[in-house]
Amino acid sequence: MNTRVPPNPAQYRSLHEWALQLYAYTKAQTQITQENDPRPILLSHRTTGGLERATTDGILMYDPALREVVYSENGIWKPINMDFNIFLAEQVAAAASGTPVSVLASVGTVAKFGANAVVGNSAFETVAQFQGTVSDETFVSTNAIGHAVSSSASDVGLVIQHEGHTIDGFGNLTFVDEPVTLNGTTPVALTTPRARQNRAYVAPSGVFNAPQTLHAGTIHFYNSATTTVTGGVPNTASSTKMILPAGQSQSEKAQTATASDEYLFLAGFTGSIGAAGGSATRVEVRLQSRDIKNGGVWRPVGKRIILRTDAVGIDLKFSPYKIVSPNHDIRVIAKADSNSVAIEAEFYGYTAKVVTA
């Protein structure tokens, strides 16, 4: 046994086996015997200095921020009491990418929910809100989503926070989160044009006890290269990639994307039917993803999900977690068996960072 550094957890088949070796190591290092009371061992604390670096595998430390004992592996500090599904997903992703992948390095969660009030029965539709009768987004391969506009002239000076992804010439996505200040029915250029528009919401007023006033018109985020605007509404509905309906504080779009340096570990899905027309009895729901960078097609993420009009909805917990790779779109689509149905859906999980040297 190496008496200079603690045993490396990566060399053992389980944390239990590693823990036994760790105990043997600490016993040898401190000369603890069964006949004597064990002396307490004070673990070094992670700091912003030299102890922060996980350059050597098998170092055991205490993280005051996490309030957890952590160990070093492949340049990453990992808690001993890690959720097994996260641990497994990290190992699978790391094997696929050839580099370490860490949820703690990202410290991010994703909850994407959407609604579609008129899911039909002839074709699958995205569970999201688009302009007019548009049921699916027409995706772009350049940073063409460059403007926002309201259908109401009174929406002047209102700040909308919005999220999306830019794209480069190789299909790599980069997350962007920024505000835009509306100017009524006059289009406003986004600070950072992008290829994906994932979320938008009314920003806080910044003043205590003075909630922000909601917008009077519908807000459109659109591709200005393929449409003109009349009265604050894009003339080509398919050019609009997201709307924020009048009086609604946040967008409802069950669709997002992953950046070039992150994975998405899906932990669960919820879905429900709000109202059904006529003879509709069920809705088929699918969770899909596709590889943007390599020209992939939409593929299922797990099995088909059936929602019944006579039931209360569904709440699925994934174990193991579903893994969505970098530079991927992901969305929820649905189709009724008859007439039309109003549906709500959400998928949620954790982002994991691809850790590079």
Query: pLDDT tens for residues 202-212?
Result: 999 999 999 99
Average pLDDT over residues 143-164: 98
- The pTM of this model reads 0.81
Please report the domains of the chain, with CATH numbers, ordered by start residue.
Answer: 9-81 (no CATH), 108-126+255-354 (2.60.120.1330), 145-244 (no CATH)
Length of the chain counted residue by residue: 357
For residue 247, the cross-strand partners are none
Note the pLDDT of residue 50.
Answer: 44
User: Cβ–Cβ contacts within 10 Å for residue 284, how many?
Assistant: 16
The angle subtended at Cα 300 by Cα 127 and Cα 286, nearest 5°, is: 30
Residue 167 contacts residue 144 (beta carbons within 8 Å): no
Note the pLDDT of residue 39.
Answer: 58
Note the pLDDT of residue 120.
Answer: 93
Q: What is the mean pLDDT of the chain?
A: 89
For residue 288, the cross-strand partners are 300, 331
Q: Amino acid identity, residue 56?
A: T
The angle subtended at Cα 28 by Cα 26 and Cα 34, nearest 5°, is: 90
The Cα 182–Cα 148 span in angstroms is: 7
Cis status of the peptide bond prior to 211, with omega within 30 of 0: no
- C-alpha distances (whole Å) from 24 to each of 205, 222, 347 are 58, 63, 44
Tokens of 353: 């960072």
Categorize the per-residue pLDDT at 53 as very low, low, confident or very high, splitting at 50, 70 and 90: low
Which pLDDT tens digit goes with each residue over 212-258?
Answer: 999 999 999 999 999 999 999 999 999 999 999 999 999 999 999 99
Compute, in degrees rounded to 10, the torsion defined by CA atoms 81, 82, 87, 88.
70
Between these two residues, 91 and 153, which has the higher pLDDT value? 153
- Cα 253 to chain centroid, rounded: 12
Q: Amino acid identity, residue 295?
A: G
Tokens of 356: 């590079």
The DSSP annotation for 130-177 comes to -STT--S----SSS-EEEEEES-TT-EEEEEEEEEEEE-TTS-EEEEE
Q: Phi, psi (5° rounding) for residue 239?
A: -75, -20
- C-alpha distances (whole Å) from 72 to each of 21, 59, 188, 239 are 16, 5, 48, 48
Match 């995706």 to its residue by tokens. 139
Instruction: Considering only the C-alpha atoms of the chain, give the largest distance between any 2 of them, rounded to a whole number of Å.
Output: 86
The Cα 334–Cα 288 span in angstroms is: 11
Q: Which of 196, 247, 195, 239 has its CA nearest to residue 219?
A: 247
The Cα 292–Cα 298 span in angstroms is: 10
The Cα 286–Cα 153 span in angstroms is: 39
Note the pLDDT of residue 302.
Answer: 93
Note the pLDDT of residue 239.
Answer: 98
Tokens of 260: 């070039």
Tokens of 189: 């250029």
